[in-house]
Chain A
């Protein structure tokens, strides 16, 4: 069944049809449900499309009635958006793709160069073996079919940031084709599992960095980045909404970080996405005219740009102006929050591809591929499913599996025997808060997983109270050390002896006759005051449960 998704964030637009009622500012978010799938039955949208050929008109999803169902959103419910994404991942190898220049982001301009990456005459490219390893890792992680024989091609065009006048890429025989990626949508967007197809992955090199001077007649180029290896990942046009697209990008980031092939940073440019959006009436098998959107610098701008573009195209359709949707490249303007035409007409580029004569075939052996496969870590999707099976809530699962370092910390902690739910809570709560405050990553803290396990066990066994536990945690995070050591050093063992607590309670009650009076005359909230006093006297070590039980008895006793 086709999914109808039209997320409509409308500001008053002069484009609206007739009725002045429609010109009122509408902030309603019309949110139709997405198809819900159980993971055992997940297919990619492409597979579904093939199956659905025989079916009758797809089931329309019921939309909760909105007071102001405007013209556009009504029409929007009849359209389906089709989204495809091309992603470029900059590999974090030590050297460039075809020469031994070291590359570091932020280095002084034009200081990581050599004749090969500068395209000087006589220089020849030699492929970095790490690039093939990264490509194979990613292909396996995305369930692709590997080409055991692939080649490089020259993609020829002239541009100031392209020293050779061509980019070494892979045209018709890429290293991998036909894969898929699994992800879970965040709960605040309705949750749900998705599987999107991957058309191909290929290796290529990056160009330099071109900067246009404000005033003038010239531009400036930094060639440090020229020749840096990239992997281009082309998705099947399976996404249907802005959020699906941005989550696809986020999952790619997660995967490349898990694999260690890239730091996948959109802000730094090590992860770049270009999005293609088109819409078509539901049930129509042909695609509509697609529009490419560039200049997307974050996951949220991917989301917003797509939603905007869908609205724009639906608007045009609703006014009978669908012919004004042309195949073009548009830029997303973060400030204005809209897409604008980059240039009027884009003819099909002629890159005059031909096989790169200076590079031999890329040949993979089964042994090689198997050994790379064995070296892969547990991938995010597998981790999420495993955490789910352990009984963790989806929210916990998504948090813990998001960062491989956090997941590893969690896994190590529970391996030492810690309770799963408690370990998750500590990591997601106090530890995460500490990391955020101190702007640290979990690998930087002095707390080690088996001490966290020890802490959890100590609280569970009653050796220390929960409150003391939190204090110890803070100490461990900042300075390290052991739980046992700290308990001994600071004498933190919880007082659980009934007699000892009783003595303290009696003392506190005797010392506070006025409050006792007030309590007896109805201010039962003062129990907290008494509890606080006993805690103070016991230096926080009194077991709260026993304490409060005793207090209630004693405070209410003497009549």
Chain B
């Protein structure tokens, strides 16, 4: 199962793919609701001694993306026309990424995450615990769409509903 997430940038949406994990998290009680998100049909195996490889099934066999749900979770409003149009387009992007499935990973060491620009930095990317006051806090406050000194005014949302 592939879930797509739409990451909202300021001016353009970026489509990111979260491929299925083969790591089983908490067993037994699993009393953290968030951790039971993992798809139980994945074969459970511990990272440490796993020979896990991502499944070879082609992405084109996957169910069509649920555009409405994607829009809802990303809080993007779409017109009916857009819902219809975006489905196939999203599918195409997924298939384009799907080419990665053709890569032979048998000789490759497992990593816990893909290397990104953050890893390219020289040395270890850590900072000392030394306070620095940001000099332009006024400008930040000024840029707030709605300010009820000293608070930021926001719409009333009672629950963390998705």
Contact residues of A with B, CB < 8 Å?
46, 82, 84, 86, 93-95, 100-102, 108-111, 113-115, 118, 120-121, 126-130, 132, 149-151, 155-160, 165, 171-173, 199-200, 210-213, 216-223, 234, 236-237, 276, 287, 290, 292, 343, 346-355, 357-361, 363
Contact assessment for A360 and B121 in the assembled complex, using a CB-CB cutoff below 8 Å: yes
Which stretch, B31-39, B51-59, B89-97, touches the partner chain A? B31-39
Contact (A129, B37) CB under 8 Å given A218-B155, A287-B29: no
Task: Give complex CA distance A445, B137 in Å.
Answer: 41
Contact assessment for A348 and B130 in the assembled complex, using a CB-CB cutoff below 8 Å: no
Contact (A354, B150) CB under 8 Å given A212-B158, A218-B156, A290-B31: no
Q: Smallest distance from the beta carbon of B140 to chain A beta carbons, Å?
A: 6
Which stretch, B79-87, B99-107, B109-117, touches the partner chain A? B109-117
Contact assessment for A173 and B112 in the assembled complex, using a CB-CB cutoff below 8 Å: yes
Contact residues of B with A, CB < 8 Å?
3, 5, 8-10, 16, 18, 21, 23, 25-26, 28-29, 31-38, 47, 73, 75, 112-114, 116-119, 121, 124-134, 137, 140-141, 148, 150-160, 162
Contact assessment for A222 and B156 in the assembled complex, using a CB-CB cutoff below 8 Å: no
Q: Within 8 Å CB of B26, what residues of A?
A: 199-200, 234
Contact assessment for A172 and B140 in the assembled complex, using a CB-CB cutoff below 8 Å: no
Contact assessment for B157 and A100 in the assembled complex, using a CB-CB cutoff below 8 Å: no
Q: Within 8 Å CB of A361, what residues of B?
A: 112-113, 119
Q: Which 4 A-B pairs have the closest CB atoms?
A: A220-B151, A102-B131, A114-B134, A160-B154
Q: Nearest chain-B residue to A209 (Cβ)? A: B151
Q: Within 8 Å CB of B119, what residues of A?
A: 360-361
Q: Within 8 Å CB of A363, what residues of B?
A: 124
Contact assessment for B10 and A94 in the assembled complex, using a CB-CB cutoff below 8 Å: no
Contact assessment for B125 and A172 in the assembled complex, using a CB-CB cutoff below 8 Å: no
Q: Within 8 Å CB of A150, what residues of B?
A: 112
Contact assessment for A349 and B37 in the assembled complex, using a CB-CB cutoff below 8 Å: yes
Contact assessment for A127 and B129 in the assembled complex, using a CB-CB cutoff below 8 Å: no
CB-defined A-B contacts under 8 Å, sample of 18? A100-B127, A113-B134, A130-B128, A132-B126, A159-B160, A172-B25, A173-B112, A220-B151, A220-B152, A343-B159, A348-B33, A349-B34, A349-B37, A350-B73, A352-B73, A357-B117, A358-B116, A361-B119
Contact assessment for B140 and A118 in the assembled complex, using a CB-CB cutoff below 8 Å: yes
Q: Within 8 Å CB of B126, what residues of A?
A: 126-129, 132
Q: Smallest distance from the beta carbon of A204 to chain B beta carbons, Å?
A: 12
Q: Which of B18, B116, B151, B159 has the most CB of A within 10 A?
A: B151
Q: Within 8 Å CB of B124, what residues of A?
A: 360, 363
Q: Nearest chain-A residue to B114 (Cβ)? A: A355
Q: Smallest distance from the beta carbon of A275 to chain B beta carbons, Å?
A: 10
Contact assessment for A354 and B134 in the assembled complex, using a CB-CB cutoff below 8 Å: no
Contact assessment for A352 and B18 in the assembled complex, using a CB-CB cutoff below 8 Å: yes
Contact assessment for A160 and B157 in the assembled complex, using a CB-CB cutoff below 8 Å: yes
Q: Nearest chain-B residue to A166 (Cβ)? A: B7
Contact (A95, B130) CB under 8 Å given A110-B141, A237-B31: yes
Q: Nearest chain-B residue to A108 (Cβ)? A: B150
List 18 other contacts, CB 8 Å, given A111-B137, A127-B127.
Answer: A100-B132, A101-B132, A114-B134, A127-B125, A129-B126, A172-B21, A172-B23, A173-B47, A217-B156, A219-B155, A219-B157, A234-B31, A236-B29, A353-B18, A355-B113, A355-B114, A357-B114, A360-B124
Contact (A94, B141) CB under 8 Å given A220-B151, A354-B16, A357-B116: no
Task: Give complex CA distance A94, B131 in Å.
Answer: 6
Q: Smallest distance from the beta carbon of B45 to chain A beta carbons, Å?
A: 12
Specify which of B23, B113, B137, B151 is in contact with A221 (CB 8 Å cutoff). Answer: B151
Contact assessment for B113 and A110 in the assembled complex, using a CB-CB cutoff below 8 Å: no
Q: Within 8 Å CB of B117, what residues of A?
A: 357
Q: Nearest chain-B residue to A109 (Cβ)? A: B150
Task: Give complex CA distance A84, B32 in Å.
Answer: 9
Q: Within 8 Å CB of A211, what residues of B?
A: 151
Contact assessment for B137 and A113 in the assembled complex, using a CB-CB cutoff below 8 Å: yes
Q: Within 8 Å CB of B47, what residues of A?
A: 173
Q: Within 8 Å CB of B153, what residues of A?
A: 218-221
Contact assessment for A110 and B150 in the assembled complex, using a CB-CB cutoff below 8 Å: yes
Q: Smallest distance from the beta carbon of B93 to chain A beta carbons, Å?
A: 16
Q: Smallest distance from the beta carbon of B143 to chain A beta carbons, Å?
A: 8
Q: Within 8 Å CB of B150, what residues of A?
A: 108-111, 222
Task: Give complex CA distance A199, B25 in Å.
Answer: 10
Contact assessment for B127 and A129 in the assembled complex, using a CB-CB cutoff below 8 Å: yes
Q: Nearest chain-A residue to B116 (Cβ)? A: A357
Contact assessment for B160 and A157 in the assembled complex, using a CB-CB cutoff below 8 Å: yes
Q: Nearest chain-B residue to A343 (Cβ)? A: B159
Contact assessment for A160 and B155 in the assembled complex, using a CB-CB cutoff below 8 Å: yes
Contact (A121, B130) CB under 8 Å given A221-B151, A358-B118, A361-B112: no
Q: Within 8 Å CB of A359, what residues of B?
A: 118, 125
Contact assessment for B8 and A165 in the assembled complex, using a CB-CB cutoff below 8 Å: yes
Task: Give complex CA distance A165, B124 in Å.
Answer: 27
Q: Nearest chain-B residue to A210 (Cβ)? A: B154
Contact assessment for A157 and B162 in the assembled complex, using a CB-CB cutoff below 8 Å: yes
Contact assessment for B154 and A219 in the assembled complex, using a CB-CB cutoff below 8 Å: yes
Q: Nearest chain-A residue to B36 (Cβ)? A: A348
Q: Smallest distance from the beta carbon of B109 to chain A beta carbons, Å?
A: 12
Task: Give complex CA distance A216, B157 in Å.
Answer: 11
Contact (A221, B152) CB under 8 Å given A354-B5, A357-B118: yes
Q: Smallest distance from the beta carbon of A288 to chain B beta carbons, Å?
A: 11
Contact assessment for B127 and A126 in the assembled complex, using a CB-CB cutoff below 8 Å: yes
Task: Give complex CA distance A82, B31 in Å.
Answer: 11
